[in-house]
Amino acid sequence: MTEKYKILYVDDEESNLRIFKMTFKRDYDIFTAISGLEAIEVLKHNPIQLIVTDQKMPEMTGTEFLEKTLPDHPDVIRIILTGFSDIEAIVRAVNKANIYKYVTKPWNREDFKIIIDEALTLFQYRANKDIKIAFLEKENEDLKNQIVLLNEELDKRK
């Protein structure tokens, strides 16, 4: 069995945390946090691939939380969830917090699962791309070294 993707869900309402966890625990490893500060602690100790956060929270907004996580966790995919339409928050989230999607509450399980799966596919694509780039960079370096050796060999024959 392959390891499940790890999702961190951040919301200041306990009932929302329970519902999200119950809804998706079969498909993913779900971590929850009741605040942005608690979520930052979860991120320090767990390799999270996707963050889903509520926008309206008392200590810091979802956008502020995601902005704080960006430097240390640039590869994590980010989704903001909200029951309110706040155009300024949407613009800031896109421009400053590097979000993948902005989803409105209430969410439908099937639709939200599709969004989550698409986000995790993007995460996997980026991870695979990084691995391939590292492999190609090493291959390129090896080829450069071979050229140097061949040139040295040619110089000896002259």
Kindly report, residue by residue over 106-140, the tens digit of the pLDDT: 888 899 999 999 999 999 988 777 777 778 888 88
How much is the pLDDT for 149? 85
Is 151 part of a structural domain of the chain? no
Is 136 part of a structural domain of the chain? no
Is 30 part of a structural domain of the chain? yes
Domains contained in the chain, number: 1
pTM of the predicted model over 0.85: no
Contact 67, 21 (CB under 8 A): no
Is 139 part of a structural domain of the chain? no
Is 150 part of a structural domain of the chain? no
Is 142 part of a structural domain of the chain? no
Pairing of strands 77-82, 50-54: parallel
Which CATH number do you get for residue 65?
A: 3.40.50.2300
CA dihedral sign of residues 26, 21, 29, 119: positive
Contact 65, 38 (CB under 8 A): no
Is 45 part of a structural domain of the chain? yes
Contact 89, 53 (CB under 8 A): no
Contact 62, 42 (CB under 8 A): no
Cα gap 97→147, rounded to integer Å: 44
Is 66 part of a structural domain of the chain? yes
pLDDT for 1 beyond 70: no
Domain that holds residue 93: 6-129
